[in-house]
């Protein structure tokens, strides 16, 4: 974070740049400047997901793994919001907004969660 901020963007591969962005909003900068609201929403959604997860069958592995990835990603972004006042995004692909590893965990986890819940119904 300290080394990338002054340089703004570094090409790693032809399709991947490290680009320093401070995001005070949600995905694609929705609710930009709404850090306090997003902290509350994140905490409520994590608590709700952990609570409802207790009712899933133990063998719903995809759903459980997905829920944990979503919570881990939300927790990572929550940590940034609380300590820095924004989420630091740094991975840039062509034609896609800059994102971070926590965002990837949330997206992959949501896909696992959807697959796992579909599988058990």
Q: Clarify whether 59 is annotated catalytic.
A: no
What's the pLDDT at 6?
Answer: 63
Which of 103, 106, 112, 113 is an active site residue? 103
Q: Where are the domains of the chain?
A: 33-119
**What are the tens digits of pLDDT across the range 50-73?**
999 999 999 999 999 999 999 999
Evaluate if residue 118 carries a pLDDT over 70.
Answer: yes
Which of 81, 89, 98, 102 is an active site residue? 89
**What are the tens digits of pLDDT across the range 3-53?**
777 667 889 999 999 999 888 888 777 788 888 999 999 999 999 999 999
Strands 9-13, 87-92: pairing kind: unpaired
Instruction: Please list, in sequence order, all residues whose beta carbon lies within 8 angstroms of the beta carbon of residue 78, skipping any fewer than 6 positions away.
Output: 39, 42, 43, 46
pTM above 0.85, yes or no: yes
Nearest Cα neighbor of 35 from 88, 95, 78, 90 is 78
């Amino acid at each position: 974070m300290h080394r990338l901020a002054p340089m703004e963007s570094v090409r790693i591969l032809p399709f991947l740049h490290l680009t320093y962005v401070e995001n005070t909003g949600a995905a694609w900068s929705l609710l930009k400047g709404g850090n306090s609201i997003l902290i509350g929403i994140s905490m409520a959604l994590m608590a709700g997901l952990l609570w409802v997860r207790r009712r899933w069958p133990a063998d719903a592995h995809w759903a459980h793994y997905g829920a944990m990835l979503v919570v881990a990603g939300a927790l990572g972004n929550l940590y940034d919001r609380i300590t820095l006042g924004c989420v630091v995004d740094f991975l840039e692909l062509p034609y896609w907004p800059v994102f971070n590893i926590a965002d990837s965990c949330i997206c992959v986890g949501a896909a696992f969660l959807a697959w796992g819940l579909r599988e058990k119904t």
